[in-house]
Structure 1
């Protein structure tokens, strides 16, 4: 049964509350009450009071004056503040009105009118007026704003989130690859303002933050991650001033930093600035104010860019009070440029940051749009699991772990592609600009971005390799249990064996080796049997055979030249040889012999290159497999040796310029460098067998006693220690006993200056394990004296600390007086 008395009681209570609320809303103020509120600094209530009074007395000068000041203090309806204060000033309420009207004009981006009002105030203000200093500062800000307002950015605003300061970071949603912004208290245990904002790089190896300087203002600092903790805080060079610098954010390639500062020369409050990193001078360039509409006469701060999704965020209190901010999400790509504006109304309209109506989409882990759906009939990727098996869709994977590992590799690959695309855009921007300052900034950005791109290669390779290994193990497991079924099997064309049909090996030459090379083959055979499959061993034997035939032909070439009266110098003139002969018949015979000798020399070099290319490929694949699959042992030395070998090979390939035609001297030097690279690989593989212990090596079989005779013995020569005629060593070793002298130009975290590098001999480099540092070297010399001659030129190019070092078999050793001589 319904209780009507109860309902009536409720209705009566509600009526009372509504009545009380209406009375409260219609509360009237006296002029005295309004003035008390104003003088007490209660501008919110004072605004209500004067608004109420103006309803009844709209032309009262003082009410308009105080009402306009309240609107400025509350940052509310600034257009109305201009109207009220302009009316009060015209009526002569007080000369102070010029000050507040100037401020109202400034906050509405009418900088020219604001300057006029500040000048009027300063003309009549007493010397003791505490507002003089602010009026001068505001006037300077307006002068800067007047310059900036001629050409401003047109921003596409996706979102506007109103948040309190404590919840500010919740409005930012950058991709994980961009890095992380968080509060100091989430990273530091103590010592810094808990709610201060810091930036942690995407690799987690550097943290940027603000803290109090000696001058008691805030400055920007960073720390780097070390093996056993974090480094001491380091002040950012080129950034800090006597004013406050806060809210750092560094783009993914480390080339540019964004931050906020209340330094002089801005629009007012905290402004957003950006600065490029100068790699050569190890400092940031002069910061540049980002201008309107990024900046306003109020506080603008915490700019965060997500270049993968082409979106950025920044915060401002231009439309709120000091405890509330609006976080704007905007389009951020190369299309964001400055445009000329027609009038001051356009400046204010753009600075208002109204929503454009467009939206943005972030990328998922695979780099595609969140709402994109895969077509079932479309290949998603191409992944070779084995020689006869390839996957094109994620559902083809038998192992979930392998799939996750592969997806991780794809994500890194997409990240690399995105960075490569950004590099392309930066290069296009470099080609378009005519500004030297912008070109300098772009060069630094491109160099740092290149380093970032190249650093991803190893991570991608490791992810794909592990995915392949895990998937192969899963397939073997399923095959053993009879449960394997495959949705897709595609035959992959096998790589054909290199053909040597174009290389003529004369039948009159017999198999050759010498004692030293036979010993080396014995050692290599142990290595082959310990680490390689039977198929790989067969390929390595074939490569060794090519190398041996290269020795045979090279020695025969040298012998023929000696018989013709030629020295062992392959650069000797054919004419000088012929002129030593007495008759025309002899000249013809000598000419024929010299030509044949040089043909044999070229053939021997081709065999050398074919042999070394084959071995390098097999060795590199094995080293990659060992370093990726062995997670127990410390293989940092193997990785360093592999990287060193790859650098030698890149240098060797770079020496052969097809466009310039065949150059036998450069071809021979290139082969020598390749041989050094293969030697470094063999050194790494031997170290691995030593690391694993002798028990991993096969039982040594008796060496075949039927060792072929040496070349000298086959030719009927006496073998003497004083006349070894080791042509192999002459042809393929750049220095005696495997020594290579280089000029160390320095140890760098980033790439050395490209302009300086162009002035010195070709560079090579080795990474210092676990330190993110790289040693750079210039040139390759067979003696210390030759290297020392070039040191002064290297220093003149800008590398003041250059000095000579020595390598043996690809490993840097101590440079003793004996080695110098």
Structure 2
């Protein structure tokens, strides 16, 4: 009886061993096919049984890296690199670059280059990785001096709950909330303050998404328009937000020249060309090699938010609350480590100004809604000899109110444009004379004149509509 039990145990152990070997073989096949998520649990089990196996460390590290768990991947790839596993060099170099450890990245790339010196295809891939690392390093050196006053890690499915916009800034909502027939997605829709224009993305994960707008026509939205090719390029465009001037558009894109995943961009509508200008990619720390998206600025509160999944679990995202800079200001430091920490947002306290009290702004950012404060001093708009308006609520005609609200948006844009123009004229007068600066000044002057004419036209229409309403009463 004991002998039979012995043979039964041996047979069971043999089959378990075969099953284990087959499972590892499957995982290795999935690994080679790029099916890292499927291979990962098997490699994790194998590592527990054999933590000093260099190949298992390599497979586990790469599987973690490719599934977005970069920080977890680091120690396994470092072990494999120390044991001279060639493919670990290039993965670890790329990982270090994403952590802005560029000297360490180059050491790993150099080891890979020596090991693959006769493999032209591998060296071509290495050149691409090096170029990406160099581009990241240039971006780190241009990190914006941004005051980040708060951060909140939240589930991706609920991330919009952290954006507490004032009524004057419009509203954000999931796309499927406005279009109930849409499949569930994390993409968003922006509606302006007057609730007569929306911006949203449409498409799919295979072909990518583009940005569209719709206008309110009586009681429904229609007149769908795809935004121009200067915005909708390759990849996906999503997460739009428009400032109260109605001209400045922030959005996220996965296309060139993204550092990885979604990156944040800004563009502005140009009245002269009746189109949008070429978008500008925002500086670090707004952008990173991870997904950075949904930037919104509340001009009434004087704060903004953006989302990033850098170093976060797969189901979570971090919402950063910041103070918008009137003009771009870069971090001034020759300390590469400090620049890297600021670009990475290692600690939001690094961004704070000495002696500044951010408590009131944090409280304001957390207020769910802020009603627009209209006082007798909002503006002065003469309708006729007997009537002068000071708030939008003074208008009796809805169309007149809309015209004047648009004019106020142009007025804000004109003010910003004239400030930029004044700075460039000062540069030119100070001796910074070059063809590019002169051309920029001429272009801004032309755009300023065009905006001024449009602003005055809208004000005249608003006045005429309001007078017509008063006359008909």
Task: State the TM-score bracket (shorter-chain normalisation).
Answer: 0.5 to 0.7
User: Partner residue of 1:718?
Assistant: none
Query: Which of 305, 321, 330 is 2:322 aligned to?
Result: 330
Counting only pairs closer than 5 Å after superposition, residues 94-493 of structure 1 correspond to structure 2 as 94-111=85-102, 114=105, 117=108, 121=112, 124=116, 138-190=129-181, 195-212=186-203, 216-227=207-218, 229-237=220-228, 238-334=230-326, 336-353=328-345, 354-356=347-349, 358-359=358-359, 360=361, 361=364, 364-365=370-371, 367=373, 424=415, 426-433=417-424, 436=437
Change (3 A) 1:91 1:316: same
Query: 1:355 offset after TM fit, Å?
Result: 2.7
Q: 8 Å contact 1:274–1:288 — kept in the other structure?
A: yes
How far did residue 157 of structure 1 move?
Answer: 1.3
Secondary structure of the 1:160 match is strand
Unaligned residue ranges in structure 1 (runs of 5+) = 1-30, 369-379, 384-404, 462-619, 628-637, 643-684, 693-821
Unmatched tracts of structure 2, length 5 or more:
1-19, 29-36, 353-357, 379-389, 396-400, 428-435
Residues 158/98 of structure 1: CA separation in 2 closer, same or farther (3 Å cut): same
Q: Secondary structure at the match of 1:144?
A: helix
Contact 1:199-1:208 at 8 Å conserved across structures: yes
Figure out how many residues of one structure are paired with residues of the other and give that number: 400
Deviations 1:430-463 (A, max 9, x none): 322457587657985897699679969999x9xx
How far is the alpha carbon of 1:141 from its aligned partner? 3.0
Tell me, yes or no, if the aligned pair for 2:288 and 2:344 is still in contact at 8 Å.
no
Q: Give 1:295 shift.
A: 0.8
Q: Give CA deviations for 1:747-800 in whole Å, capped at 9, x if unaligned.
A: xxxxxxxxxxxxxxxxxxxxxxxxxxxxxxxxxxxxxxxxxxxxxxxxxxxxxx
- Does residue 91 (structure 1) correspond to residue 73 (structure 2)? The answer is no
Contact kept, 8 Å, 1:312 with 1:332, in 2: the verdict is yes
Q: TM-score, normalised by structure 2?
A: 0.67
CA contact (8 A) 1:219 1:246 kept: yes
In the TM superposition, what is the alpha-carbon distance from 1:203 to its structure 2 partner? 1.7
- CA deviations on 1:661-680 (whole Å, 9 max, x unpaired) are xxxxxxxxxxxxxxxxxxxx
8 Å CA contact retained: 2:176, 2:182: no
Could you tell me how far 1:304 is from its partner in structure 2? 1.0
Structure number, greater radius of gyration: 1
Contact 1:308 1:418 in 2 (8 A): no
Task: Tell me how large the CA RMSD over aligned residues is.
Answer: 4.8
Q: Tell me how far 1:343 sits from its aligned partner.
A: 4.0
Q: Deviations over 1:577-610 (max 9, x none)?
A: xxxxxxxxxxxxxxxxxxxxxxxxxxxxxxxxxx
Q: Which is bigger in relative contact order (C-alpha 8 A, separation at least 6)?
A: 2
How many angstroms does 1:228 deviate by? Answer: 6.5
1:205-253 deviations in Å (ceiling 9; x for gaps)? 2211111289822111112223464333222112111221111112221
Given that 1:105 and 1:114 are in contact with CA atoms closer than 8 Å, whether structure 2 keeps it comes out as yes
Query: SS at 1:153's partner residue?
Result: coil
CA–CA separation in structure 2 for the residues paired with 1:32 and 1:250: 56
User: TM-score scaled to structure 1, two decimals?
Assistant: 0.41
- Alpha-carbon offset, residue 90 of structure 1: 4.2
Matched residue, 1:635: none
Cα pair 2:407 2:458 within 8 Å, conserved: no
Does the 8 A contact of 1:208 with 1:222 survive in 2? Answer: yes
